[in-house]
Structure 1
């Protein structure tokens, strides 16, 4: 469903992606792990066509991400942002229905609200939350609203950017379980970037370790504890000593 082939991207003298190659199968949940500044977010932006690679190719379902109808292309995606990225001036239901009230998927207001409330229920929020504003919600509730918005238009592909950042361990577990359940129910292809190994174990089918702009290791989540790659071992175990520290 998603294919990156030998992708390079630099910003001035800063070489971020240095030959990244990765395949994500249709219906698969792939999690990209790696330290800060290794290019995880740039990778997502390249797939969305928001950043143009210097070289290499990226296709989604066989289509080059830089070609064709941009609106139709982006309509295939849902996104859960790291900081929630909710609109402070809009009530919760309008945040969830934001895409449904714009562009080619525009729905009547009443229908958009109904869908929003249904998606809020799906992420464990009661209908009376719909008319509140984001500032009236806890961090965990805001994250759930962001998840409801990500799935509101029934996307084929969902991106999750550090989905548990800022949440306590219990709420992180709740969000991880919701992501896994929803992705499975929808049959969506999911691509997640995270530092949280609990999230990795909860939501991944496959794991890709990104370091210095390339995929160091890629395989089933069940193999991350037995793989012999020293970079992967150091990251998974959270060791201070190892090859990652040595190159900093």
Structure 2
């Protein structure tokens, strides 16, 4: 679905991405982990077109993600921003239906928003609330409802559980996994939360020193030597 080849990006003398090679298949859930400042968010911003890479290629469904292909890509992706990132001046249903309202009547957009809120476990009366009236966990659910409002083919999750207590974090992880499975969407999650990786991911990639240091199934990550330092323990086989 998305493939990155030889991606590099520097900010002044600091090289953040030093030749990233990674891909995610249709319907797969990929988690990208790494310490703070290793370039996880820069990689995501390059894919989304918010930052221009210095070199390398990004492919979308086997086509270069250039100016000609980007409009199609933009129509097919959803995003759960860190912290929810709701518009303070819009109520809940208007936030969820923000994209939908550009091309359909408000009544239809509101009905879809209420249905999506139900899919993330929020009752219809939530639709009329303002973001300031929501708890952190509710705001994250509203952000998730917005991310899936238009049935995207690809969903990006940026630190989906940051700032949540363990109970709410587990609930958000379960919702994300359930929605990804239900919709068949391709998912890319940027996170440092290993509980999220185990709950959400099929594959995990460790970003280190500007490159992918390890890439493999989530079920194998506890045995991988390159992940030992990040996970804070020796791998099971002692290597």
Is the contact made by 2:26 and 2:185 (CA closer than 8 Å) also made in structure 1? yes
Query: Residue 204 in 1 paired to residue 201 in 2?
Result: yes
The CA deviation string for residues 34-58 of structure 1, in whole angstroms up to 9 with x for no partner, is: 0011000111111112211111111
Q: CA deviation at 1:13?
A: 1.2
Q: Which residue of 2 aligns with 1:4?
A: 4
The CA deviation string for residues 87-144 of structure 1, in whole angstroms up to 9 with x for no partner, is: 0000000000000012xxx111101000000000000000001000000000000000
Give me the whole-angstrom Cα distance separating, in 2, the residues matched to 1:147 and 1:237. Answer: 31
- Provide the secondary structure at the position in 2 that maps to 1:178: helix
Is the contact made by 2:173 and 2:200 (CA closer than 8 Å) also made in structure 1? yes
Within a 5 Å distance, the mapping from 1:21-170 to structure 2 comes to: 21-68=21-68, 70-102=70-102, 106-170=103-167
Is the contact made by 1:156 and 1:189 (CA closer than 8 Å) also made in structure 2? yes
Give me the whole-angstrom Cα distance separating, in 1, the residues matched to 2:38 and 2:149. Answer: 31
Match of 2:230 among 215, 218, 235: 235
Give me the whole-angstrom Cα distance separating, in 2, the residues matched to 1:112 and 1:201. Answer: 34
- Please identify runs of 4+ aligned residues in structure 1 that moved more than 3 A: none
Aligned length: 234
Q: CA deviation at 1:71?
A: 3.3
The alignment's TM-score, normalised by the length of structure 1, stands at 0.92
The alignment's TM-score, normalised by the length of structure 2, stands at 0.95
Q: CA deviation at 1:236?
A: 1.6
Is the contact made by 1:27 and 1:189 (CA closer than 8 Å) also made in structure 2? yes
Specify every segment of 5 or more residues in structure 2 that has no aligned partner in the other structure, as ranges. Answer: 235-239
Q: CA deviation at 1:63?
A: 2.1
Is the contact made by 1:49 and 1:66 (CA closer than 8 Å) also made in structure 2? no
Specify every segment of 5 or more residues in structure 1 that has no aligned partner in the other structure, as ranges. Answer: 240-248
Q: Which residue of 2 aligns with 1:181?
A: 178
- Provide the secondary structure at the position in 2 that maps to 1:89: coil
Is the contact made by 1:210 and 1:216 (CA closer than 8 Å) also made in structure 2? yes
Give me the whole-angstrom Cα distance separating, in 1, the residues matched to 2:166 and 2:137. Answer: 11
Is the contact made by 2:63 and 2:69 (CA closer than 8 Å) also made in structure 1? no
Give me the whole-angstrom Cα distance separating, in 1, the residues matched to 2:104 and 2:44. Answer: 28
Q: CA deviation at 1:69?
A: 5.1
